[in-house]
Amino acid sequence: MIRINLLPEYRRKSEFPTWKLYRIIAYVFLGLSILLWGYHLAMFKYTESKLSDVNEGIVSMKVWQERFDKAQQQNAEVNKRNTIVRNLSKDRIVWSRSLAELGNITPYGCWLTSVKQGNKPDQMSIAGKAMKMDDIVKFISLLQARPDIANVQLISADESNNNNSSTAGVIDFTLEIQRSGVKK
């Protein structure tokens, strides 16, 4: 069935055309897209200008960067040398400390006449005099009790028989000491 509207034009019910609605939606979408594109373009240009400022700052800081790198290299070299010195000092015999420790453990009635380092860094020879053989035995036991000494050997013990009354009964002794913890 066909419907015919016979009312005059001004009284007819007008419908909103859907194509106009689609056109308005398309224009709004296009406008928003252009605004969004413009915003992103502006932000891109702004970021690009800031990046160029940062690059100029980096170029101007090149001298400081070179100085910093050079200081880092020097610090690494100093630390390397410090490590080498520390490792060498662990293996070094500090004679002032060793002689002081020998003096502290030497018993009464016993005195040292010479302390010599042997052919190897871990060997040491001690010569001395004692009033009694018990003093030498006590000195050897005190040396063996030390953690830095691996072995103590009595090489010789001779009683000197001079006519001089001041040295009568004195025993000359020689000890060989093997130190531990010393690199060979």
pTM across the whole model: 0.50
Query: Phi then psi for 20, rounded to 5 degrees?
Result: -70, -40
Q: Give me the residues paired with residue 112 across strands.
A: 128
Q: What is the pLDDT of residues 139-176, one digit of tens each?
A: 999 999 988 888 898 989 888 766 555 556 789 999 99
- Helix, strand or coil for residue 1? coil
The residues, any chain, with a CB within 8 Å of residue 141's CB and separated by 6 or more, are none
- Give domain limits for the chain: 17-92, 95-179
Please give the C-alpha separations between residue 76 and each of 4, 63, 69, 121, in angstroms, as whole numbers: 99, 20, 11, 31
Q: Is 26 left (phi over 0), alpha (psi -120 to 50) or beta?
A: alpha
Q: What is the pLDDT of residues 27-68, one digit of tens each?
A: 999 999 999 999 999 999 999 999 999 998 888 888 888 899
**How far is 129 from 139, CA to CA, in rounded Å?**
11
Q: What is the pLDDT of residues 103-131, one digit of tens each?
A: 888 999 899 999 998 888 788 899 999 99
Q: What is the pLDDT of residues 8-25, one digit of tens each?
A: 777 776 677 788 889 999
Instruction: Quote the CATH superfamily of domain 95-179.
Output: General secretion pathway protein M, EpsM (3.30.1360.100)
